[in-house]
Chain A
Amino acid sequence: MEQGKDRGERAPLFGKWGYWYALVAGFLLLCIGVFYFLTKHFS
């Protein structure tokens, strides 16, 4: 298996996978933050 080569391939839109990890982690944290605010604020 040539996984090293696959991992080296350009990620769509941003080129590097690190940006996708950062985007998704940030997006999830934002969602959880907003949801947590809604849960606490309206309970």
Chain B
Amino acid sequence: MSRPDWIVLVVTLLAIIAYGLYKSRTSRDLDGYILSNRTVPWYMVLLGIMGTQASAVTFLSAPGQAYTDGMRFVEYYFGLPLAMIVVCITFVPIFHRLKVYTAYEFLERRFDLKTRALTAFLFLLQRGLSTGISIAAPSIILSSLLGWNIIWTNIIMGGVLIIYTVTGGAKAVAYTQQLQMIIIFAGMAIAGLIVVHRLPPGVGWKEVMHLAGRAGKLNIVTTGFEGHKGFDWNDRYNLLSGIIGGFFLALSYFGTDQSQVGRYLTARSLRESRLGLLLNGLVKVPMQFLILLLGVFVFVFYQYNRRPVFFNESQLTTLAHSRYGDSIRVLRERYNAEEQERVALANSGGGVRLDQLEVLQAADRATVKRWLGEVGGDANDTNYIFLRFVTDYLPVGLIGLLIAVIMLAAWGSIAAALNSLASCTIVDFHRRFSRQPLAPEREYRLSRWYTLLWGIICVAMAQLAYNVGNSLIEAVNVLGSLFYGVVLGVFLVAFYRRKVGGQAVFISAVIVEAGVIVLAILGKRGIVPLSFLWYNAVGAVGVLVLSEVLQAVIGRARKYDKNAMS
């Protein structure tokens, strides 16, 4: 990176830290630290919700996903707008009326302590692990593309934000997320405009869409029946899994995950919480569409410009030092010569030779991936595509800004996660199991210490994830869906099945959770092919049905006991 890029990057990051510290004054109690004294307006709730959901990987992966797999990933969000209405009608008013700090507090009032402790524990486990990964994943990409030291990258990605998160709690998180989202949108918009501007003269929107469509990148609506005799349950993104699976996932994430609940509980009123959530439902699909469209434009851009044989250069270095060292050198020389010819032909109208070169280069790329697989390297370069484009083709200054965008996206979601992890630890465990009531000042100080502790744990976890490798990252990516459905099921029983008690729902949650984990293991081995999005629906419906059955059995047993005693 050049000096101007470094200046842009450092100034942007320092500005966020300074702004976070400037806005960090709150009352020295839990209400101030966890809920920002419930003073946040709806537009900040909206930006906070969006900033919490959109991590660095969102902005790195999504364009790469569109480049390789097309735009069907947008279907993942189709269930979200409907889920927002249900959350607003069912979850939010109860949380507001009971004036809870965490979602799990409500479960003790409705059921019992063990149900609250179980769901809070599942949240800490899942959110703690996934926060570690959301630090590690972009750090690995940045460090390998820019040659940065991984430990320092992890510390900047997940450690620096601890300064303002510890100091200002939810208020600092809300205000910095607002500024971060503005910078992120501006950066992505500028990147999009530059891609369009750098396309050859005569290649307009229509040509871009036709080219992308012919290459199968505009597969925005898919049914899951393509190329199959019946519905493909293992297909990750299609209309049905997006609407149904995505609905349950969004319902669970926004209704029961403290990292989101903590954002909208900071709102100054019930109306402001609801407005933030509802508008999030309306902007999320178009926003994701535009990010994916950027990936499609990058794909078209590379049709007229030189593209590497593999976007993750560090893996090519790995190959160069393996038994394929000579082979990869020969392949790269040949590929580069072909690439020069291909770009010249593409810019002068194409022809049969261009099609031949495309076929040859596709074979070269497949060979590189096969070799990487054989030497134990990372054969997936999807997450590197967008950033490689940024570093190779964007002008000086903008590279720094786009790296800052990635960092800020990470900070927004990680800061919210740390705040929610600390909230859950102090409210659902420390305060709840404390023998003596804690003074407000002590609760405030403990919350700050827990925020710091979770920050250190998550950065350490990121370093561990780097050492263990990609397998852990992939496992944790689906981890949320393993737990979300069951936790959602518990909340749905609480809201809609009033006759079901704590014992029945607790046993159901444990049994169904075990079932979902078994399902995931069988899925991994190819015995039960079911995409991870469906686990949310299975978990939620499983708890609803089983708790009803168990309640009937327990109720009957109690009745029998009473009769026997009398």
In the complex, what distance in Å separates the CA atom of A23 from the CA atom of B88?
15
Q: Which of B74, B221, B222 has the most CB of A within 10 A?
A: B221
Structural contact, A7 and B89, CB atoms closer than 8 A: yes
Distance in angstroms between the alpha carbons of A32 and B240 in the assembled complex: 12
Question: A43 and B213: CB pair below 8 A?
Answer: yes
CA A42 to CA B271, docked complex, whole Å:
42
Once A and B bind, how many residue pairs between them come within 8 Å at the CB atom? Answer: 79
Residues of chain B lying within 8 A (CB to CB) of residue A31: 78, 285-286, 289
Chain A's interface: helix, strand, loop or mixed, by majority?
Answer: helix
Contacting B at CB under 8 A, from A1-43, are 1-3, 6-7, 9, 11-13, 17, 20-21, 23-25, 27-28, 31-32, 35-36, 38-39, 41-43
Q: How far is the CB of B87 from chain A (nearest CB, A)?
A: 12
Interchain CB contact under 8 A, A9 and B270: yes
CB distance from A43 to the nearest CB of B (A): 5
A1-B94, A9-B93 known; A38 vs B274 contact (CB < 8 Å): no
Whether B93 contacts A6 by the Cβ 8 Å rule is yes
Q: How large is the interface on B (under 10, 10 to 19, 20 to 34, 35 or more residues)?
A: 35 or more
A35-B220 in contact given A17-B85, A28-B82 (Cβ < 8 Å):
yes
CB interface residues, B 74-122, toward A, < 8 Å: 74, 78, 81-82, 84-85, 88-90, 93-94, 97, 110
> Which of A12, A27, A36 interacts with B282 by CB under 8 Å?
A27
Q: Known: A11-B274, A39-B220. Is A6-B94 also a contact (CB below 8 A)?
A: yes
Q: Mark B480-508, 1 if CB is under 8 A from A, else 0.
A: 00000000000000110010000000000
Say yes or no for B216: interface residue by CB 8 A criterion. yes
Q: Smallest distance from the beta carbon of A20 to chain B beta carbons, Å?
A: 5
Given known A27-B81, A39-B219, contact A13–B93 (CB-CB < 8 A): no
Instruction: Give the distance in Å from the alpha carbon of A15 to the alpha carbon of B230 in the complex.
Output: 43
Q: Does B212 contact A (CB under 8 A)?
A: yes
Instruction: Output the least CB separation between B269 and chain A (Å).
Output: 10
Interface residue? B210 (CB, 8 A)? yes
Given A12-B274, A20-B278, the answer on whether A38 and B82 have CB atoms closer than 8 Å is no
- B-binding residues in A (CB < 8 A): 1-3, 6-7, 9, 11-13, 17, 20-21, 23-25, 27-28, 31-32, 35-36, 38-39, 41-43
Spell out B's residues near A (CB within 8 Å). 74, 78, 81-82, 84-85, 88-90, 93-94, 97, 110, 209-210, 212-214, 216, 218-222, 239, 270-271, 274-275, 278, 281-282, 285-286, 289, 494-495, 498
Given contacts A6-B90, A9-B270, 19 further A-B contacts (CB under 8 A): A1-B494, A3-B94, A12-B271, A12-B275, A17-B89, A20-B278, A24-B281, A25-B82, A28-B81, A31-B78, A31-B285, A31-B286, A31-B289, A38-B209, A38-B213, A39-B218, A39-B221, A41-B213, A42-B209
Q: Can you list 6 A-B pairs, Cβ within 8 angstroms, ordered by A?
A: A9-B270, A12-B274, A24-B82, A27-B81, A28-B82, A32-B78
